[in-house]
Structure 1
Amino acid sequence: MTADAGPARRRARSRTRWFWIFVGPFALGLGLFTYLPLLWSIALSFFDAHNTVTPTDFVGLDNYTAMLSDDAFLDSLRTFLVFTAFIVPTTYAFSLSLALMVNRVRRARAFFRSVFFLPAACSYVVAALVWKMSVFSGVRFGLANTVLGWSGGDPVAWLSVTDPPWYWLVIVTVRLWLQAGFFMILFLAGLQRIDPALYEAAAVDGARPGRQVLRHITLPQLRATSVAVVLLLVINAFQAFDEFYNLLSDARGYPPYARPPLVYLYYTALGQGQNLGLGSAGAVILSLVIAVVTVGQARRLGLGRRER
């Protein structure tokens, strides 16, 4: 053993000790508040857990069978599909447009970037209440109905009319306002990584600025960013809860329409019946659906595929 072995071993122990000093609290919190509840939820899904988190009546896959045959749960998945069909392409196009505009600004770019990103720091609950009570209020004094009144239109009960389903306009616009700035930042980071020489070469070759350059230069170079944005948007759509619950629920409860999976599971597990076993089974099914959809989207969009 060399003379340097002792100090080297002490330095290694010191690095290990400092590693656990910094990482240990985070790892402990992650285990206690994330992984332990997750594992316990999976365990509860195999028991008849009415009003208890320590059940003894093992029912096997009965909870899963009940959830997959429940029309209300299946309808909540269809609600998610409708919400995703609205919010994913809308947010993608809007955030990309914002990024392209901000990227072209030569002065006060940081100002515009901050202004468009600011809504991302707003609480979903607060934004939903503002949309419900001020912007899309069902009375004639709401902002949307005031604008309609200027053109001679009648007030619309935005959140209670189901034919046509105007509530989708309210839900989609509040989510769009909240998250477009965040994804704009992602697109801005991707745009700033594009080599300016590509645009110069395209101009020399006669490419017209605008749609042609966007289609053949910008979008292909943003492919990795676009894949990440689409996957995040789909996952976020699965997890929608705050805006749905705070926009549509009232003193009478939640209406039978537009219930996303998390709202349905909330009422199943914490509602009047408090069937935690059934709610846990639904949560496991939803997690598996998210995983399958995410992996499927990633493979279809080529996430991780080596560029040629």
Structure 2
Amino acid sequence: MATRSEAETARRGTAPRAATPRPARQRNRTLWFWIFVGPFAAGLALFTYVPLAWSVYLSFFDAHNTVSPTDFVGLDNYTAMLGDPSFRAALLTFAVFTAFIVPATYALSLGLALAVNRLRFAQAFFRSVFFLPTACSYVVAALVWKLSIFNGVRFGLANTVLGWFGADQIAWLSTTDPPWYWLVIVTVRLWLQAGFYMVLFLAGLQRVPPQLYEAAAVDGARPGWQTFRYITFPALRATSVAVVLLLVIGAFQAFDEFYTLLSDARGYPPYARPPLVYLYYTALGQGQNLGLGSAGAVILALIIAVVTVVQARWFGLGGRDEKAV
């Protein structure tokens, strides 16, 4: 007895087409998946995971001027790195940089997002204008800050403005008392990354239901600070946690602006050395102690992981309440 589908096929005068077996289709999907993903996975493994694994391997050996050592030293490199006052000073530099850049970037990017979100016209234009510095190279931006804005001679923009008010010139990058170099380092990083985090906050603001503001207005909440404090800011909790985490990790990885701003023909000054600059000179300096530098890199990676996990736990990121939202 013919089935309904077969009868329908016979009525239309077309022959039934044989269905592709499910295992064959699954094999085709797997094949195309590896065709597209395979080259990228191979590049990621070759240029990221293999060097990371080799760095961990080097950290247990005495690797002076070689990447294939044979003298196993165990945890001696880690002990020497943790006992090095210069490495601890580099971690202190990171802490100071984080204390400056994280709250400044958070406040500026949130303020820009609130201002752009309230615009009724040209919103896309201002969003693009503030986001544009993100595409700029850190090295190029640091050179502009160093040679044009905060140049230590009278031709620099900052010293020119000070001269209008009769103030003395300042050697911004070489004055350590007070440490004016922090102003240069923080402002260039602030200019480079504020637009990116502004976009993240804009995305969070657009997810806030308008009904909340309508209900608040019915309850008598005044627009402005009250609305921001009790509705907008709590609704941005998940975005705020993500922004803070990314800012702290980015501060740990600071290298380009520090090295470009402070180094010269004489080398790098003894102050304001973040961890990556210190590890750069340890592993690629005169001694080229790759084992010691690798141990420092592993310690830094572990610190970043611990800080990230602690922050996520502290703010409840990924908890039940967060998933419900």
TM-score scaled by structure 1?
Answer: 0.98
SS in structure 2 opposite 1:174? helix
Aligned-residue Cα RMSD (Å) equals 1.1
1:187 is the counterpart of 2:174: no
* Structure 1 partner of 2:106: 92
> Highest CA radius of gyration, 1 or 2?
2
Equivalent residue for 1:71? Answer: 85
Deviates more, 1:5-14 or 1:291-300: 5-14
Distance 2:279 2:319 in 1: 36
| Structure 1 residue matching 2:179: 3-state secondary structure | coil
- CA deviation after TM superposition for structure 1 residue 306, in Å: 2.3
**Whole-Å Cα distance in 2 between the matches of residues 4 and 144 of structure 1?**
77
Q: 1:38 aligns with which of 52, 55, 58?
A: 52
How far residue 7 of structure 1 moved from its aligned partner, in angstroms, is 2.4
The amino acid that maps onto 1:237 is A
Report the counterpart of residue 293 of structure 1 in structure 2: 307
* Per-residue deviation, 1:6: 5.6
Q: Deviations over 1:13-47 (max 9, x none)?
A: 11000000111011000100000000000000000
Residue 305 of structure 1, CA deviation: 1.9
2:246 alignment partner in structure 1: 232
Q: Which residue of 2 aligns with 1:62?
A: 76
User: SS at the partner of 1:75?
Assistant: helix
Deviation readout 1:83-108 (Å, 9 max, x if unpaired)? 00000000000000000000000101
Q: 2:64 aligns with which of 46, 50, 69?
A: 50
In structure 2, distance between residues paired with 1:253 and 1:5: 71
Could you give the per-residue CA deviations for residues 168-213 of structure 1, whole angstroms, max 9, x where no partner exists?
0000000000000000000000000000110111111111111111
- Report the residue type matching 1:55 in the other structure: P
- Corresponding position of 2:31: 17
Pick from 135, 150, 167 the counterpart of residue 121 of structure 1. Answer: 135
Equivalent position of 1:80 in the other structure = 94
| Unaligned stretches of 5+ residues in structure 1 | none
For 1:198 and 1:250, how far apart are their aligned partners in 2?
55
5+ residue gaps in structure 2? 1-16
Residues 69-89 of structure 1: per-residue CA shift (max 9 Å, x gap): 000000000000000000000
CA distance in 2, matches of 1:30, 1:21: 15
SS of the aligned residue for 1:206 comes to coil
> 1:206 & 1:304 partners in 2: Cα distance?
34
Distance in 2 (CA, whole Å) between partners of 1:164 and 1:39 is 42
Distance 1:93 1:178 in 2: 15
Aligned pair partner of 2:275 in 261, 264, 268? 261
Q: Give the TM-score taking structure 2 as reference length.
A: 0.93
Identify the match of residue 288 of structure 2 among 266, 274, 281: 274
Is 1:150 paired with 2:155? no
Q: Percent identity?
A: 80
Shift of 1:4: 7.3
